[in-house]
Homo-oligomer: A and B are copies of this chain.
Amino acid sequence: MIRMNKLTDYGVVLLTTFAHEPALGISARELSVRTGIPQPTVVKLLKTLLKAGLLVSQRGTKGGYALSRAPEEIPVAVIIEALEGPLAITECSLPGTCAHERGCPARPNWKAVNDVIQDALSRLTLADMTRPASPGATRTGSPLPAVDSAPRSIAS
């Protein structure tokens, strides 16, 4: 499957928790309680997200974490890249990593697929992820094409 790490999934869950709670200063322990994710894992994820600039932190007794920007300003693509590195469906996107480059005619089209995914994830924001159920309402209109009809106008 094209799957992402469980940690990335957890990371999104954490960020959506922040998005629901705009107040500054949620501690790692409280996040663990709310999400059910083990605290050491929460701590690890928060450090990663902090380093990526998605969170701000406050040390000390009343310390904690909070979003560095509004949820509307954080694309899902940025979140995933922060947690997993560059978005790529296959490794041969980077030159030299594929031993079969010589006879591989599939490469440019893999890149095309990558771009579609990148585009979809760039237009979906954390705010969209926190909305309960309707995938239609987003800030820029309709960032995700209606799936039932052919969304062949994914302008980039």
Contact = CB atoms under 8 A, between A and B. Distances in A.
Contact of A36 (B103, B116, B152): B103
A23 interface: no
A80 B1 CA distance: 7
Nearest to A135: B112
Interface of A: 1-4, 6, 8-9, 12-13, 16-17, 20, 34-37, 76, 80, 84-92, 95, 98-113, 115-117, 119-121, 123-124, 128-135, 141-145, 147, 150-156
A37 B100 CA distance: 8
Given A106-B129, A145-B154, 7 more contacts: A1-B85, A108-B151, A111-B154, A112-B150, A113-B120, A113-B144, A123-B150
Contacts of A107: 154
Contacts of A144: 109, 112-113, 116
Contacts of A115: 145, 147, 150
Contacts of A119: 145, 147, 150-151
Nearest to A134: B108
Contacts of A156: 95, 101-102, 145
A34 to B, nearest CB: 7
Nearest to A20: B105
